[in-house]
Amino acid sequence: MKSLAELQAIRDRALNQVNLRKERADGTRIVVGMATCGIAAGARPVLNAFVREVEARKLTDVMVTQTGCIGMCRLEPIVEVYVPGQEKVTYVHMTEDKVSRIIAEHIINNRPVTEYTVGAETK
Amino acid sequence: MKELSLHILDIAENSVKAKATKIEIDITEDTAKNLLTIEIKDNGCGMSEEFLKKVKDPFSTTRTTRKVGMGLSLFEAAAQQCDGKLEISSKEGVGTEVSVTFALNHIDRAPLGDMAGTMQTLIGGSPDIDFIYRHKKDGQEFLFDTAQIRETLSGVPLDTPEVILWIGDFINEGINELN
């Protein structure tokens, strides 16, 4: 059973990490479209998979956030990745299964997964 | 939508956009009455009477970039095909309340689905909003209130990944206890 004591332990760990997290504003941002179109297409499990993966790999300078309708509803779920100093990368038709590869190749090793991007889709 | 929890996420996002500081989500499953009730209540900016009249029309929206707003009309259609209905009341400056009913055992009723995932998404997206999630099933109740979590966290943001994951597991366990 999940207990508040467990949450307190998480708090204590997080408080020790505060200095690491300060840099988040300049870190990488992963933005998931979470309007009606995104939700209906399956954005919620994609978002939660990113949160799980970021936590599992302890990527303290990566932030997972949400936005509204990005304007290409037929390509939802859409995820935009902003790495500071680089051009935005837009992933389309996202699924939970694609998440770990994007984290490993793009977020960690800085090689966007071209085949999942909007560029590959609309060719 | 494949799950009712996705409709709930979608409608609660409206509350977020209405700048609510408190959002309450109530789910009541009553087997004896064969009734499932979902209520989403916020203290956001509310709507004018004029906009409220047309709010369920899929071609009405407050967005300026597009002309469609499907959320409420999709939820209403889901309820209507299960002998239920969607009611919405709102007052400018006070807030909005959406109440949706379903025949619990209706063959076309989508499952409630991953409510923990919906709450994770809502809280992670708006860690400063107070969320209250009440789930009742035949006299049993599970209550989740971010105010309590916030107290325990003493300043650690609710959108810390480890916290969000804990919240998801906590809610999952709470709902499983009801079943």
pLDDT for A18 equals 60
Query: Which residue of B162, B165, B171 to mutate against A (max A Cβ within 10 Å)?
Result: B162
Q: Does B128 touch chain A (CB under 8 A)?
A: no
Would the CB atoms of B169 and A2 count as touching at under 8 Å?
Answer: yes
Is pLDDT at A53 greater than 90 in this prediction?
Answer: yes
Which of B13, B70, B152 minimises the CB distance to A11? Answer: B152
Tens digit of pLDDT for each residue in B128-143? 999 999 999 999 999 9
Q: Read off the pLDDT of each residue in A38-63 and give the average, rounded to a whole number.
A: 94
Which of B6, B121, B149 minimises the CB distance to A7? Answer: B149
Q: What CATH architecture applies to the domain A21-121?
A: 3-Layer(aba) Sandwich (3.40)
pTM, to two decimals: 0.91
Question: In this structure, what DSSP letter does residue A117 have?
Answer: B
pLDDT band at B105 (very low <50, low <70, confident <90, very high): very high
From A90's Cα to the closest Cα of chain B, the distance in A is 20
The matching CATH number, chosen from 3.30.565.10, 2.60.40.1120, 3.20.20.70, 3.90.1150.10, for B4-178 is 3.30.565.10
Q: Read off the pLDDT of each residue in B13-23 and give the average, rounded to a whole number.
A: 95
Q: Read off the pLDDT of each residue in B86-106 and give the average, rounded to a whole number.
A: 96
pLDDT for A29 equals 94
Pick from B59, B101, B98: nearest CA to B79: B101
Q: What is the percent of chain A where pLDDT is above 90? A: 74
Would the CB atoms of B156 and A14 count as touching at under 8 Å?
Answer: yes
pLDDT band at A25 (very low <50, low <70, confident <90, very high): low
Q: Which residues have a Cβ under 8 Å from the Cβ of B19 and sit 6 or more positions away? A: B44, B45
pLDDT band at A3 (very low <50, low <70, confident <90, very high): confident
Q: Read off the pLDDT of each residue in A10-22 and give the average, rounded to a whole number.
A: 73
Return mean pLDDT, chain A.
90
From B156's Cα to the closest Cα of chain A, the distance in A is 6
From A121's Cα to the closest Cα of chain B, the distance in A is 23
Q: Where are the domains of chain B?
A: 4-178
Alpha carbon A49 to chain centroid distance? 8
Query: Which residue of A39, A61, A96 to mutate against B (max B Cβ within 10 Å)?
Result: A39
pLDDT for A24 equals 53
Would the CB atoms of B120 and A34 count as touching at under 8 Å?
Answer: no
Give the C-alpha separation, B123 to B38, whole Å.
19
Is pLDDT at B144 greater than 80 in this prediction?
Answer: yes
Return mean pLDDT, chain B.
93
A1 to chain B: closest CA residue: B173
- Give me the sheet containing A62-67, strands edge to edge: A62-67, A28-33, A79-82, A89-91
Tens digit of pLDDT for each residue in B61-73? 776 676 667 899 9
Q: Read off the pLDDT of each residue in B26-51 and give the average, rounded to a whole number.
A: 95
Is pLDDT at B163 greater than 80 in this prediction?
Answer: yes
Q: Does B166 touch chain A (CB under 8 A)?
A: yes
The lowest-confidence range among A2-6, A8-12, A39-43, B162-166 is: A2-6
Is pLDDT at B127 greater than 60 in this prediction?
Answer: yes
pLDDT for A123 equals 62
Tens digit of pLDDT for each residue in A74-108? 999 999 999 999 999 999 999 999 999 999 999 99
Establish, for the pair of chains A and B, how many residue pairs have beta carbons separated by less than 8 Å. Answer: 91
Contacts of A11 in chain B (CB under 8 A): 152-154, 156, 163
**Cα–Cα distance list, B135 to A5, A99, B5, B94, B174 (Å):** 23, 31, 12, 24, 9
Is pLDDT at A19 greater than 60 in this prediction?
Answer: no
Rounded to 10 deg, the angle between the A43-56 and B115-125 helix axes is 70
pLDDT band at B55 (very low <50, low <70, confident <90, very high): confident
Q: What is the ipTM of this complex?
A: 0.88
Contact by Cβ (8 Å): B9, B108: no
Which of A1, A65, A68 minimises the CB distance to B173? Answer: A1
